[in-house]
Structure 1
Amino acid sequence: MPAKSITIKRTEANDPDFPYLAALLNHELHEKYGELQVVYDKFNQISNLDTVVIAYVNDAPAGCGCFKRIDKNTAEIKRMFVKTGERNQGLASSILNELEVWAKEEGYSSAILETANKQLEAIAFYEKQGYEMIPNYGPYVGMETSVCFGKKL
C-alpha cells in the first residue's frame, strides 16, 4: 500500500472543501444527538471566516477546523472534524496545531473550544493536546451537554 500524502492548507470559509466537510460534521452530529443538535447549530455559523484549515489526504479533503475571535487575546476553535476513514492518523493533531500556530501569528495568547459531553474521543484528544477543562463560556453557559476547554498558546 503506497504512503498517503498529507497536506495542510490555510484557507477561508468560502473554499468549497470547507462546506463539504462541515456538512459531513453536521450530519454526524445530527445522527448522534438528534433534535438536541438543532440547539447547537446556531452557534456554528462560520460562513465569513478567513481562518480555516483543511487537511488533504492524497489531494482529497479529509478534515477541517477553524477559529474565530472571541476577544483580543482569545481565539475560539470551531468545526474540528476528520472524516471517519481518515481518523487515528494524526490529521486532527495537524489541523489543531496549524490553527494554534495561526492564532498565535494573529496575536492571540489563548484558545478556547466547546465540545459535547458524549464526544469522549474529542475530550480525550483535546486533553492530550494540552487543553484543560474550563467553565462553560458564552452561549454554552448553563448547557449541561457542553464541555469547554482552554489552552494558553
Structure 2
Amino acid sequence: MFHIIRTNSDNPHFRQLVSELDKDLAIRDGDEHAFYAALNTVDTIKHAIVLYEDALPVGCGALREYEPGIMEVKRMYVLPEKRGRGIASAVLTALEDWAKELQYKKCILETGKKQPEAISLYHKNNYTVIPNYGKYAGIDNSVCFEKVLD
C-alpha cells in the first residue's frame, strides 16, 4: 500500500530519490545535462512529496513557486522497478492538491524530449503542451506543460 508524506528538500529520502533521478538524467541528457542540472537544484524546496510503498521510498516530486498563482512541478521520479503502477500519477495528484490548498491556480513544468514516459504521464494527467517558458525558451530538447487547477 502507498503512503505519501509532505516534506521539504531536507528529507533524506527525497534527496536519495533525486540522486537516482539525476543519475538517470545524466545518461539521457548527455551533453545537455549540465544546463538542466543547474536549473534543478533542491536546496531550497519547501514543498516536496515522497511516496512510500511498504516503508520504502519509491517516488517523489516537488513544487516551487514560479510566480504568484503558478507552481512549477519539479523533480518527479519513480524507481525504475516500481514504474507502471500509478505511483507517478499519485505523486502528481498529491502535488496538485497541495498547490490548490496553497491557493495556486495553475501548475507548469518542463520535461525533456528524451523522457517519453514523463511526456506520457503529463498527457494522461490532463496537462497541455505550452510554449517553452523562462530559461527553457528556445531549448529544443525541452517540452513544457501546464494544467489549470480546479
Q: Is TM > 0.5 for Structure 1 vs Structure 2?
A: yes
In the alignment, the residues of structure 2 paired with residue 40 and residue 52 of structure 1 have an alpha-carbon distance, to the nearest angstrom, of: 19
Runs of 4+ displaced beyond 4 Å: none
What is the aligned partner in structure 1 of residue 44 from structure 2?
48
Is residue 144 of structure 1 aligned with residue 149 of structure 2? no
Q: 2:55 maps to what in 1?
A: 59
Residue 68 of structure 2 is matched in structure 1 by 72
Quote the offset at 1:117 in angstroms: 1.0
Q: Return 5+ residue gaps in structure 2 as ranges.
A: none
The alpha-carbon deviation at position 74 of structure 1 amounts to 0.3
Secondary structure at the residue paired with 1:34?
A: helix
1:104-134, CA deviations, whole angstroms, 9 ceiling, x for partnerless residues?
Answer: 1111000000000121111111011000000
In 2: Cα distance, 1:7 partner to 1:104 partner: 20
1:133 aligned residue (129, 133, 141): 129
CA deviations 1:40-65 (Å, max 9, x no partner) are 10100121112000011110110100
| 2:83 alignment partner in structure 1 | 87
Aligned to 2:118: 122
Report SS of the residue matched to 1:148.
strand
Q: One-letter code of the match for 2:50?
A: I
Using the alignment, how far apart are the partners of 1:105 and 1:6 within structure 2? 21
Q: Please tell me whether residue 111 in structure 1 is matched to residue 81 in structure 2.
A: no
AA paired with 1:119? Q
Which of 1, 9, 12 in structure 1 is aligned with 2:8? 12
What is the identity percentage for the equivalent residue pairs of Structure 1 and Structure 2? 39
Q: Which amino acid aligns with 1:147?
A: V
TM-score (norm. length: structure 2) = 0.97
Aligned partners of 2:62 and 2:40: how far apart in 1? 11
Structure 1 runs not aligned, ≥5 long: none
Q: Which letter does structure 2 place at the counterpart of 1:103?
A: A
Aligned residues: 149
Deviations along 1:83-121, one digit per CA (max 9) or x if unpaired, are: 001101111011000000000111100000000012111
- Compute the RMSD of aligned alpha carbons: 0.7
TM-score of the aligned structures, taking structure 1 as reference length: 0.95
Q: CA deviation at 1:35?
A: 2.2
